[in-house]
A and B are shown apart, each in its own frame.
Chain A
Amino acid sequence: MKTNMHIAPAPSGHQVKQGGNMFNQNKNLQQSVGLRRGAFSRPIEYVIEKLLFLISLTAIIAIFFIFAFIGKEALPIFFGKTNSALVQEVIKPEDIDKYPAEKIRDYLGLSRSKYKKMPKDTLIMLLEVKAEAHKEIPESFKNDKDARVNTTDWKYLIMPHQWSGYDKPVYIWQPVSNIPKFNFMPLIIGSIKTTLLGILFAVPISVAAAIYVSQLARPSIREIAKPIIELFSGIPSVVIGFFALIVMATFFQEIFKYEIRLNAFVAGVALSLSVIPIVFSISEDALSSVPRSYVEGAYALGSTKWQAAWQVVVPAASSGILAAVVLGFGRAIGETMIVLMVTSASEMTWNIFAGARTITAAIAAEMAEVVFGGPHYRILFLLGALLFGFTFLANIIAQSAIAKFKEKFEGTK
């Protein structure tokens, strides 16, 4: 009771006069009511909170660093510093002093720090090696009209070009060649083709299964079906790829009688196997979390089971189902092992029964063989950055679509 009386705020004039006294009163108050502020009143909670903050921060920083690293390796292409031309101006070892250091560094494709550390003898040796290699190029190649073209130029990366030996301008990905051709388009189309096919097969199947399991099936069936379908997500993609390569490819070839055994269609079906459990599991959760009261309301108005599921539950869960599809898309476009095993050479065509090579498969298959720091190496990193950008963009679009769906079908933001 005594402390309570102290709490009553004193008139402000009074307060100033008795400043010292006020301090004591506050101290009393703090001790009696436990009004101690600051982090150290509950040190364990404080530490836990900061720890969790650090962990979540780490994830964000990790993503940032990955992107920064990939971007950094791809940067020389943006600035036109990479030159993949077969025939280049040769800097003779004895001329090393005639050129500015920067030019020599670019010519040898060295990083600044590496260049600084390198003694002059080593530099001369490297120049000798380069000159030697240049001498060994057969005359016939040297006379090719594309021999002096820097094929890592943006023009050649995205636009068709009539290479020597071709009768019309083409999009072509042929990175290991005398004149390496790095056109992205066949890979982008390959990725889009297989991903869309995968999504096209997976989404109807998994959403239908989710509606059945969550709304229509008897609880006893639900208890068996749900974990079994979700078990699929535990199958390693290399196993799915192996199965598709050996069994599915042959099976489909017998049905559709197409020419190329490993094609985008087989890859799409195999991809859908890895996407189905994800889309199923998340959309099933979305459908199951629609309040039971909606379903009861629909039944009370004389809905059949199907009407309640299709007209009330599915719209109410639509944003969750869309989120499931987006995650499935992310999985499909990023999936590497399945498409690497099941698809063949890149082809610039939308034909689903033609061969395809995806961005991910190109990176996985070729990264081990490239010259470190060379044009092909940089191009693969650029592809990685491109893929990152794709999924990022798709996610942003999807998020806004999800928000719109939420507003429209659920009345919440």
Chain B
Amino acid sequence: MITDIKENKMTLNTIIFQTPVLTSNTLIEIKNLSVFYGKSCAIKNVSFNIKEKVITALIGPSGCGKSTLLRCLNRMNDLIENVRITGTISIGGQDIYAKEVDVIELRKKVGMVFQKSNPFPKSIYDNVAYGLRIRGVNNKSTLNEVVEESLRAAALWDEVKDRLHANAMGLSGGQQQRLCIARAIAIKPEIILMDEPASALDPIATARVEELILSLKENYTIVIVTHNMQQAARISDYTAFFYLGELVEYDTTKKIFLNPKEKRTEDYVTGRFG
């Protein structure tokens, strides 16, 4: 569906929006979430639900708390000193900040891809197999199978199948990022969090990564933080707009971009500030 918006000065009119499956279930439930770094408040009382097997984009200007929110979903914020989190996040009905939750198990279910591609300085094969090996999987044929499957899913197999044992640091930036995605899906998570996964890539590599993300939607719930308006519009089904730690608006991507309720959202997506 090609849309035409007269008011928007951006090139949104050429974007084909995703049509989300409206019937899909809620997977992640965020209730009254506030995050403090020391005394400063990064997220203020945010509540919204993320649906299963769709792509949800978190957008907003720098420092609006979108990355913080993303890192709350797999408790990566635990690693930071002085962080205080109130409210609840439940995944599939389980409060992930409850005392009995094992963070290690949680992170197996909620994978993450970072802004800067961070393959380990090991071989391509070892990178993908890492997540399985730390769980004690050492069976060679199983590993081979999973590595191939994950690399194929990440659309990287054909490029690296002849040099699986070469060091991953020798890959190009885009390949490294796809390798990180392969590494994340090798352990079969339910949710994949992506923190600006294409911000350090050139347009061609970005296009490939976006294609890959879209193809992953079938099997995974994806939450993606992005600075790139067009990217959010192109790939996501739902979009949440954050501003200064508050959730301003959350709706289908099409609505957010074409007729947002809030003035601030409209200003941001049309590039009037940000």
A interface, CB within 8 angstroms of B: 219, 291, 293-294, 296-304, 307, 311-312, 315-316, 407-412
Give 1 or 0 for each of B128-160: 1 = CB within 8 Å of chain A CB: 001101110000000000000000000000000
Q: In the assembled complex, which residues on chain B have CB atoms less than 8 Å from the CB atom of A407?
A: 167
Q: In the assembled complex, which residues on chain A have CB atoms less than 8 Å from the CB atom of B74?
A: 300
A297-B114, A301-B130 known; A411+B79 contact, CB < 8 A:
no
- Kindly state whether residue B168 has any CB partner on chain A within 8 Å: yes
CA distance A147 to B34 in the complex (A): 93
Min Cβ gap B147→A in Å is 14
Q: In the complex the two chains form, is A411's CB within 8 Å of B118's CB?
A: no
A302-B108, A302-B187, A410-B169 known; A297+B134 contact, CB < 8 A:
no
Give 1 or 0 for each of B23-61: 1 = CB within 8 Å of chain A CB: 000000000000000000000000000000000000000
Give 1 or 0 for each of B101-123: 1 = CB within 8 Å of chain A CB: 00011011001101010111110
- Kindly state whether residue B203 has any CB partner on chain A within 8 Å: no
- Kindly state whether residue B233 has any CB partner on chain A within 8 Å: no
Q: In the assembled complex, which residues on chain B have CB atoms less than 8 Å from the CB atom of A408?
A: 167
A296-B76, A302-B187 known; A410+B121 contact, CB < 8 A:
yes
Q: In the complex the two chains form, is A304's CB within 8 Å of B104's CB?
A: yes
Q: In the assembled complex, which residues on chain A have CB atoms less than 8 Å from the CB atom of B107?
A: 299-302
Q: In the complex the two chains form, is B120's CB within 8 Å of A297's CB?
A: yes
Min Cβ gap A22→B in Å is 44
Min Cβ gap A215→B in Å is 12
Query: Would you list 23 pairs from A and B whose C-beta atoms are within 8 A, ordered by A residue?
Result: A291-B118, A293-B118, A296-B76, A296-B114, A297-B114, A297-B120, A297-B180, A297-B183, A300-B76, A300-B111, A301-B108, A302-B104, A302-B131, A302-B135, A302-B187, A303-B134, A311-B130, A311-B133, A311-B134, A312-B120, A316-B120, A410-B167, A411-B170
Min Cβ gap A199→B in Å is 26
Min Cβ gap B173→A in Å is 14
Residue of B79, B81, B112, B122 with highest tally of chain A CB at under 10 A: B122
CA distance A311 to B122 in the complex (A): 10
Q: In the complex the two chains form, is B169's CB within 8 Å of A411's CB?
A: yes
A219-B81, A296-B114, A311-B134 known; A302+B105 contact, CB < 8 A:
yes
- Kindly state whether residue B213 has any CB partner on chain A within 8 Å: no
Min Cβ gap A72→B in Å is 47
CA distance A295 to B240 in the complex (A): 29
From A298, A315, A411, B168 is in contact (CB under 8 Å) with A411
Residues 78-110 of B at the A interface (beta carbon under 8 Å) = 79, 81, 104-105, 107-108
Q: In the assembled complex, which residues on chain B have CB atoms less than 8 Å from the CB atom of A311?
A: 130, 133-134
Q: In the complex the two chains form, is A300's CB within 8 Å of B184's CB?
A: yes
Q: Which 9 A-B pairs have the closest CB atoms?
A: A411-B169, A411-B167, A293-B118, A300-B112, A302-B108, A301-B131, A302-B107, A297-B118, A410-B121
Residues 229-273 of B at the A interface (beta carbon under 8 Å) = none
CA distance A316 to B119 in the complex (A): 11
Q: In the assembled complex, which residues on chain B have CB atoms less than 8 Å from the CB atom of A312?
A: 120, 130
Q: In the complex the two chains form, is A316's CB within 8 Å of B184's CB?
A: no
Q: In the assembled complex, which residues on chain B have CB atoms less than 8 Å from the CB atom of A316?
A: 120-121
Residues 174-219 of B at the A interface (beta carbon under 8 Å) = 180, 183-184, 187
A297-B114, A301-B111, A311-B134 known; A409+B121 contact, CB < 8 A:
yes
CA distance A307 to B114 in the complex (A): 20
Residue of B nearest to A293 (CB): B118
Q: In the complex the two chains form, is A298's CB within 8 Å of B120's CB?
A: yes
Q: In the assembled complex, which residues on chain B have CB atoms less than 8 Å from the CB atom of A301?
A: 107-108, 111, 130-131, 134, 183-184, 187
Q: In the complex the two chains form, is B79's CB within 8 Å of A296's CB?
A: yes
Q: In the complex the two chains form, is B120's CB within 8 Å of A294's CB?
A: yes
Q: In the assembled complex, which residues on chain B have CB atoms less than 8 Å from the CB atom of A297?
A: 114, 118-120, 180, 183
Min Cβ gap B132→A in Å is 9
From A291, A296, A307, A409, B134 is in contact (CB under 8 Å) with A307
Q: In the complex the two chains form, is B120's CB within 8 Å of A299's CB?
A: no
CA distance A348 to B184 in the complex (A): 59
CA distance A307 to B131 in the complex (A): 11
Given contacts A300-B111, A300-B184, A302-B108, 7 further A-B pairs with CB under 8 A are A294-B120, A296-B79, A299-B107, A300-B107, A301-B107, A304-B104, A411-B121
Residue of A nearest to B127 (CB): A297
Residue of A nearest to B166 (CB): A411
Residue of A291, A297, A298 with highest tally of chain B CB at under 10 A: A297
Min Cβ gap B177→A in Å is 12
Residue of B nearest to A318 (CB): B121
Min Cβ gap B77→A in Å is 11
Q: In the complex the two chains form, is A412's CB within 8 Å of B76's CB?
A: no
CA distance A408 to B165 in the complex (A): 11
Residue of B nearest to A220 (CB): B81
CA distance A301 to B168 in the complex (A): 17
Residue of B105, B167, B187 with highest tally of chain A CB at under 10 A: B167
Residue of A293, A294, A301, A411 with highest tally of chain B CB at under 10 A: A301
Min Cβ gap A220→B in Å is 9
